[in-house]
Amino acid sequence: MRLVLLGPPGVGKGTQAARLGLRFGVPHVSTGEMFREALSQKTPLGMEAQKYMDAGKLVPDDITIGLVRERLSRPGVSSGFILDGFPRNLVQARALEDVLRDLGAALDAAVSIEAGTETVVRRLSGRRQCRRCGAVYHVEFNPPSEPGRCPKCGGELYQRDDDREETVRERLRVYMAETEPVIEFYRQRGLLVSVDGERDIDEVTQSIISALKEGNAVEESVSDGDS
Ligand code: ADP
Ligand code: AMP
């Protein structure tokens, strides 16, 4: 299973990618997480990426594409991946085609998760992430059992710097200008699957799996049951 998840910041790509990764037994590959990890380890890549992330801009294509090419060439992704946060513009979308062609692989689908600006702003402002294991929660929609503590590993939950209001506005602008055209790119290739992201987390997972089945990207034997 090789999927790309598309949609505005805060729509639920990371949340759904983690669930779909478990369901299909393939890794969740998030470029945003790769940059955040590099930053927490203070590597040169992390320090360079931080300048763009803090400003709500895209990290330059040469850096991001190189990172994805390397990640998708590792053995752990030979049976598939759920790619979240990449591609974010048309240059990256074409580069992904090249990377996959070189690997002799192809995408099964590009899933566009759709929700309005009001919804994504609410989701971003309440998002909390674990510093240790990276799990994502929401203070209202997916609250941890103990505020500020990760139920999975006990790590500290924090609010991402780029979820501040001014940065969110810029990220949404960048999304509309640069990333939205990627949806049309995949529509033209017959790979696009669109789902309503306004519904709750379980319902969105179910609609993605159902939509993939309708498009024959998933074997009927994969259960529609609990996620
Ligand atoms: P993205 O990866 O697209 O930026 P996330 O998966 O991090 O988005 O989700 C953003 C926030 O919204 C998180 O706090 C997450 O818990 C919450 N969330 C995700 N999906 C839903 C949903 N369907 N309904 C309500 N809250 C959601
Ligand atoms: P995300 O975790 O997907 O919300 O990404 C957080 C930030 O990382 C973005 O706002 C960008 O600054 C950077 N980033 C993540 N993925 C990409 C990408 N594909 N291209 C460029 N920048 C990216």
Q: Mind listing the pLDDT tens digit for each residue in 133-159? A: 999 999 999 999 999 999 999 999 999
| Within-domain flag for 106 | yes
Number of domains in the chain: 1
Residue 127 annotated as catalytic: yes
Among residues 186, 202, 224, the alpha carbon closest in space to that of 83 is found at 186
pLDDT digits (tens, 9 = 90+) for 174-207: 999 999 999 999 999 999 999 999 999 999 999 9
Mean pLDDT, the chain, integer: 94
pLDDT digits (tens, 9 = 90+) for 29-76: 999 999 999 999 999 999 999 999 999 999 999 999 999 999 999 988
14 lines ligand 1 (CB under 6 A): yes
What CATH number does the domain containing 54 carry? 3.40.50.300
The protein residue whose alpha carbon is closest to atom 4 in ligand 1 is 10
Q: Is the pLDDT of residue 110 over 60?
A: yes
What tokens were used for 83? 């790619």
- Which of 2, 13, 19, 128 is an active site residue? 13
| Within-domain flag for 173 | no
User: Which ligand has the shortest distance to the CA of 198?
Assistant: 1
Place of tokens 């590009």: 110
User: Which ligand has the shortest distance to the CA of 85?
Assistant: 2
Rounded distance, CA 156 to CA 166, Å? 24
Distance between Cα 50 and ligand 2 center (Å): 10
Quote the pLDDT of residue 224: 47
Residue 187 annotated as catalytic: no
Rounded distance, CA 172 to CA 120, Å? 9
* Domain around 8: 2-120+179-214
The answer to whether 44 and 221 are in contact (CB under 8 A) is no
